[in-house]
């Protein structure tokens, strides 16, 4: 069974704006899916619904077979969300930031897991540094480490490379590529076609609240 299943999903915000107009999508365990689309297409709305942060207007979303609205707690612990901006205390250390995030997700401390995450993201040597001492690229890695702190099966990355330079973008692609090996299912949003091409197995194109197509990367690139 797919790890994420979305059926007839619509979202109309309270001001009457229809951000999603009927989305159907299955995501298989272990795949990397890129959601490609311009600003305002509905990407963040869709992610927020799957994460249980926003309620759908109609339709159903299941994560690991659980309904994201009725079984919020069960589905939320399965998901790690990497937001666009670092909102964490800049005067806290990397180690404490990531360990504390695990606690916020209701998990018991597991220093061995935190160590593994920090090593995988090449943050181990920086663990006692304060966030304010880190470069932009290292701060982005901390966001990912926080999202992996509670051992989620699914990782959402919302515009992971928006507004970063080419070097940092390639660095992030490399990080995502390495995460694949750990078996985490990865869904990222982007408006860079090269990004979708570089790291995804499948690409979904979203525009004006509709999923125009979802294809294997190879098939899609042949069409463009």
Residues engaged in binding ligand ADP (CB under 6 A) = 13, 15, 17, 19, 37, 39-45, 95, 109, 111, 127-128
Does residue 199 contact residue 176 with C-beta atoms inside 8 Å? yes
Q: Where are the beta strands (DSSP E) in the chain?
A: 4-12, 18-27, 32-36, 58-63, 66-67, 79-82, 154-158, 185-190, 202-207, 210-216
The residues, any chain, with a CB within 8 Å of residue 128's CB and separated by 6 or more, are: 93, 94, 95
| Cβ nearer to ligand ADP, comparing 44 with 185 | 44
Phi, psi angle pair for 54, to nearest 5°:
-120, 140
Q: Provide the 3-class DSSP secondary structure of residue 158.
A: strand
Block residue for tokens 């299912």: 185
Give dist(CA 126, CA 150) in Å, integer.
Answer: 20
| Cβ nearer to ligand ADP, comparing 108 with 223 | 108
In whole angstroms, the minimum distance from the beta carbon of 222 to ligand ADP comes to 25
Nearest to 68 by CA among 81, 86, 84: 81
In whole angstroms, the minimum distance from the beta carbon of 107 to ligand ADP comes to 13
In whole angstroms, the minimum distance from the beta carbon of 183 to ligand ADP comes to 24
In whole angstroms, the minimum distance from the beta carbon of 70 to ligand ADP comes to 22
| Cβ nearer to ligand ADP, comparing 40 with 106 | 40
In whole angstroms, the minimum distance from the beta carbon of 12 to ligand ADP comes to 9
In whole angstroms, the minimum distance from the beta carbon of 189 to ligand ADP comes to 6
The structure tokens listed for 45 are 């709305």
Give Cα separations from 99 to 65, 91, 93, 130, 135 (angstroms).
28, 15, 10, 14, 20
| Cβ nearer to ligand ADP, comparing 65 with 111 | 111
| Cβ nearer to ligand ADP, comparing 30 with 83 | 83
| Cβ nearer to ligand ADP, comparing 13 with 216 | 13
């Amino acid at each position: 069974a797919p790890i994420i299943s979305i059926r007839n999903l619509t979202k109309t915000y309270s001001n009457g704006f229809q951000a999603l107009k009927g989305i159907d999508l299955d995501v298989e365990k272990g795949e990397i899916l890129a959601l490609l689309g311009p600003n305002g297409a509905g990407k963040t709305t869709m992610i927020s619904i799957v994460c249980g942060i926003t309620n759908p207007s109609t339709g159903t979303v299941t994560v690991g077979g659980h309904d994201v609205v009725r079984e919020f707690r069960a589905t939320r612990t399965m998901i790690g969300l990497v937001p666009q901006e670092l909102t964490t205390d800049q005067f806290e250390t990397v180690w404490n930031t990531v360990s504390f995030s695990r606690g916020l997700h209701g998990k018991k401390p597991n220093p061995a897991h935190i160590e593994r995450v920090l090593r995988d993201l090449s943050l181990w040597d920086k663990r006692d540094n304060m966030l304010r001492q880190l470069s932009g690229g290292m701060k982005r890695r901390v966001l990912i480490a926080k999202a992996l702190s509670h051992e989620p099966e699914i990782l959402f990355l919302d515009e992971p490379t928006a507004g970063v330079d080419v070097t940092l973008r390639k660095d992030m692609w490399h990080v995502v590529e390495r995460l694949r090996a750990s078996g985490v299912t990865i869904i990222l949003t982007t408006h860079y076609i090269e990004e979708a091409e570089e790291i995804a197995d499948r690409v979904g194109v979203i525009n004006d609240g509709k999923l125009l197509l979802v294809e294997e990367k190879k098939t899609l690139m042949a069409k463009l």
